[in-house]
Structure 1
Amino acid sequence: MADASDDHSTAKLWALVGGIASVLSILTWLGVSNAGELKDLVSDSPPSSSSPAPYTPSPTDPIPDDSDAGEGSADEPDPEPSTPTPDPTEEAFEAISAGDCMAVHDTGRGGTTSVDWSAGAPPAPVSCAGEQAQVQVTALNTACPTGYGKSYWSYRSATTGDTTKLCLTRVYHANYCILGRQSGDSISLALMTAVACRREPVPVPYNEIMHITGVYRAPAGANANNCRRAAGDQTRYWAALVDDGATLLCTTIYQGS
């Protein structure tokens, strides 16, 4: 019985030696030569698969392209085009048509070199047969004809940059008044103007209020002598041929109060 016990102890001893030899072989294969290295190896062991280490990109990793970030997503709608702010003055000009008449005139405050219209924008058209009509539109956005009793009115919009141009001819009515500039015995008529028929200061350089005594179809060779309203009429008249010479406009210095 003692021999069997000794044999069993010897077998256990050899099994332990074999296990130690196996461990030493594994450590030798891992390059561990002492207990301190074994401790370091254990402490540097990677975490278990249940807690993966965070990924740190290397300098050689490709940089993601931001242009691909939106692939597969719905395109955003284009922004709505901005609507320019309306220009009421431009709209008023564009509302006027050739043939329209308007109650607008030159005030005379621009002198003899420019026209100062009595409104900031074209007013609504009026009947060309009525006495309110002071100008008639003959054409739009073109080179306007020149001559006695003709002018133009243009406007350039700061909003759109477009220019609208109205070609105008003056409409005259008997017993209305216009401005005049007297120098000696001569009087120049401001044919696009209109003024109240009453004695009051007039804008420089004008110095007279001229009363329209008649608007006639001009005969051949018409002049101020054709303005006499009765035989023996001694009134001093100043006349102008307007409407390309078709109309005789007769005036005299206003004598009213």
Structure 2
Amino acid sequence: MAGASDDHSTAKWLALLGGIASVLSILTWLGLSNAAELKELLADSSPSSSSPSPYTSSPTIYIPDRPDTDDRPDTGDGPDTGEGSTDDEPGPGPSTPTPDPTEDAFKAISAGDCLAVYDTGRGGTTSIDWSVDVPPAPVSCADEQALVRVTATDTACPTSYGKSYWSYRSATTGDTTELCLTRIYHATYCMLGQQSGDSISLAMMTAVACRREPVPAPYNQIMHITGVYRAPAGANANNCRRAAGDQTRYWSWLVDDGATLLCTTIYQGG
């Protein structure tokens, strides 16, 4: 039995020596000279539970406190809904301009209308002072009250014997309304004249009462209309005589572009 025990011990030592030889072979293959180096190798290759993981920064994400905060970038993609803003509140509607009754009265007049208006003569020879400030309602052109006929509106008006214009510029709208006028003459009516020697200049758009009274400067005569005729060829003051042997002194003018002969005398009434 002792012999068997010795054989067993010998086998254990041989196995141990074999193991050591194997370790030395491994160390030789790894290029290590001793067991300490093997220990260091094993320590380096094992992950440490206390080592921190690599840090990777996360992108900063902006989350506004509320959608209408002033710090929110303005992208222009939608309306501003900021609290307290009145930009989107509807403003007052377009204001209605203040009516201008005088302008309305001028605009109500049309070409072909006849009016009972005339030049008072107080504007002298350089301007016309109309008898009213606002055009009155039209009258029949056959009425003796009709003193001017509207030939056109809002256009360049001709000015010559018996032709003039009446304009009005509204301070409210800034628009100008213009009426082109032609004088209507009636026999027995009176007008203003400016006499120098035997020559008399007739204020073609005037009308005045037929009575002897002071007249506005620079006029110095009241002229009485004795007749309004269709002008014959070569018409002159001789065509104004009302009867054979008539010795009255007449002054005459061709009006209506030469179509009408206007005959006058110096008023001699009381």
| Root mean square deviation, CA, Å | 2.0
Instruction: Say which SS state the counterpart of residue 249 (structure 1) adopts.
Output: strand
Q: Are 2:70 and 2:82, in contact at CA under 8 Å, matched by a contact in 1?
A: no
Distance in 2 of aligned mates of 1:249 and 1:159: 41
> For 1:106, which of 119, 126, 137 is the aligned residue?
119
> For 2:240, which of 195, 214, 227 is the aligned residue?
227
Shift of 1:127: 0.5
Shift of 1:78: 3.6
- The question of 1:180 aligning with 2:193 is answered yes
Distance in 2 of aligned mates of 1:118 and 1:215: 23
> For 2:214, which of 201, 206, 211 is the aligned residue?
201
Matching residue of 1:250? 263
Cα deviation code 1:103-155 (max 9, x no counterpart): 00000001001100000011110000010000000011111122200000111
- The residue type equivalent to 1:109 in the other structure is R
Q: Are 2:191 and 2:203, in contact at CA under 8 Å, matched by a contact in 1?
A: yes
Instruction: Say which SS state the counterpart of residue 202 (structure 2) adopts.
Output: strand
Distance in 1 of aligned mates of 2:226 and 2:219: 20
Distance in 2 of aligned mates of 1:158 and 1:193: 28
Distance in 1 of aligned mates of 2:70 and 2:219: 82
Instruction: Say which SS state the counterpart of residue 215 (structure 1) adopts.
Output: strand
Instruction: Say which SS state the counterpart of residue 194 (structure 1) adopts.
Output: coil
Give the TM-score normalised by structure 1.
0.72
> For 1:80, which of 90, 93, 101 is the aligned residue?
93
Q: Identity over the aligned pairs, expressed in percent? A: 81
Matching residue of 1:139? 152
- The question of 1:239 aligning with 2:252 is answered yes
Segments ≥4 residues shifted beyond 2 Å: 62-65, 67-71, 75-78
1:1-257 to structure 2, matched below 5 A, reads 63-64=70-71, 67-70=80-83, 76-257=89-270
Instruction: Say which SS state the counterpart of residue 216 (structure 2) adopts.
Output: coil
Gaps of 5+ in 2: 1-68, 73-79
Gaps of 5+ in 1: 1-61
Matching residue of 1:31? none
Shift of 1:80: 1.6
Shift of 1:69: 2.4
| Higher Rg | 2
Distance in 2 of aligned mates of 1:173 and 1:85: 40
How many residues get paired? 195
Distance in 2 of aligned mates of 1:240 and 1:195: 18
- The residue type equivalent to 1:121 in the other structure is V
